[in-house]
Amino acid sequence: MTDEMILANATLVLPSETLRGQVKLLGGEIADIAEGTSVPQGAVDCEGDYLCPGLVELHTDNLERHIQPRPSVDWPHAAAIMAHDAELAGTGITTVFDAMRVGSVSRKESRYGSYARGLANELLELRAADALKISHFLHLRAEVCSDTLVEELAEFGEADRVGLVSLMDHTPGQRQFRDISKLEAYVKGKHGFNDAEFAAHVAHLKALRDSHGDLHEVEAVKAARRFGAVLASHDDTTAEQVATSAKHGIHLAEFPTTVEAARACHSHGIKVMMGAPNLIRGGSHSGNVAARELADLELLDIISSDYVPAALLMSAVKLGEIWGDMARGLSTVTQAPADAVELSDRGRIEVGKRADLIRFKLIDNTPALRGTWARGQRVA
């Protein structure tokens, strides 16, 4: 990574403004930034396209989609991981926190098994073999409504690049599925349950939460500290739940479901992250608060692609339009998520930062990616 490259005549997206200029890349880092439209000999002429920090993705289910492209289909994992990695590079994501659930349920009607430790091993082995294009960290989604969370967390340690642990609680009747009719439609559609099977599923999950939930919550907080990972909440709905999150030392809230919860997060200094599909579609598929409403209320800090990687850049551009400030909109997918997980070496176009960059242009307000660089190397 010693080759010099200059990306010139670009609209640079800086932390608080956009301006026409050029960026020199050297040794995997940003070596120089200069204003102007000139194109030095040998430089890449960006023709006025936006040049932005590489996108930082904190919560994506995309790896699981590649591992299991259809129900009951287990795709070869190495191929799935590399396809996932290439897809993210092709959407402008240069840093990803790959979400993996920890905490399993053994009862037949509600069963989902453990998989995170084995999948993490395969991902880390591919990373060590230099087979991946972008930077990968682990995001362990700690499901407190489960049988085996403590045992599964114990399988991970400081060397596993666990950068984020989120406290998940999918107990029916609260948080994301406060409206049980939404859960019923989802579960029956996915698993084909009849009324009796769905009722048994709900009863079992509630029993698990009653018997294990409080212990699991405490142990997940301990595990995050052991890993040196940032701790996040998930689907906070009430101010009371946010107050509990704050006591745990949580600094990031994934997908609060109400304005009340988002306001409470900001009052506690907790950053609010919402899903890009929610913003693009104009609302939540679960009937919860719309990301656009939080943006209008100045309660939105970070965007995650959730289940559509290409939506990340698209949503940031949309926020730039909503706020009338493209630099601010793009900061929700670059600077803000990097800061939230304490990655001080990326997320900004500044001298000395990682040369993780993307080039894109707008076609009828839709971003068209024209290049992705990770540590100065073209990866898409």
Question: Structure pTM?
Answer: 0.91
Whether residue 155 sits in one domain with residue 12: no
The domain of 59 spans 55-345
Look at the chain and report how many structural domains it folds into: 2
In this structure, the number of other CB atoms found within 10 A of the CB of residue 192 comes to: 9
Tell me how far apart the alpha carbons of residues 301 and 268 are, in angstroms, rounded to a whole number: 14
Q: What is the pLDDT along the chain (380 residues), one digit of tens a residue?
A: 458 999 999 999 999 999 999 999 999 999 999 999 999 999 999 999 999 999 999 999 999 999 999 878 999 999 999 999 999 999 999 999 999 999 877 655 555 678 999 999 999 999 999 999 999 999 999 988 788 899 999 999 999 999 999 998 766 656 666 666 666 566 555 666 776 766 666 666 766 676 576 788 899 999 999 999 999 999 999 999 999 999 999 999 999 999 999 999 999 999 999 999 999 999 887 778 999 999 999 999 999 999 999 999 999 999 999 999 999 999 999 999 999 999 999 999 999 999 999 999 999 999 999 999 999 999 99
Any idea what DSSP says for residue 27?
A: T
Q: What is the CATH number of the domain that holds 34?
A: 2.30.40.10
Our CA angle for 130, 26, 133, nearest 5°, is: 25
The set of residues, in sequence order, having a beta carbon less than 8 Å from that of 41 and lying 6+ positions away, is none
Whether residue 178 sits in one domain with residue 107: yes
Residue 305 · residue 62 · CB < 8 Å: yes
Whether residue 79 sits in one domain with residue 148: yes
Whether residue 361 sits in one domain with residue 230: no
Tell me how far apart the alpha carbons of residues 256 and 236 are, in angstroms, rounded to a whole number: 5
Whether residue 323 sits in one domain with residue 213: yes
Whether residue 232 sits in one domain with residue 158: yes
At 266 the three-state DSSP class reads: helix
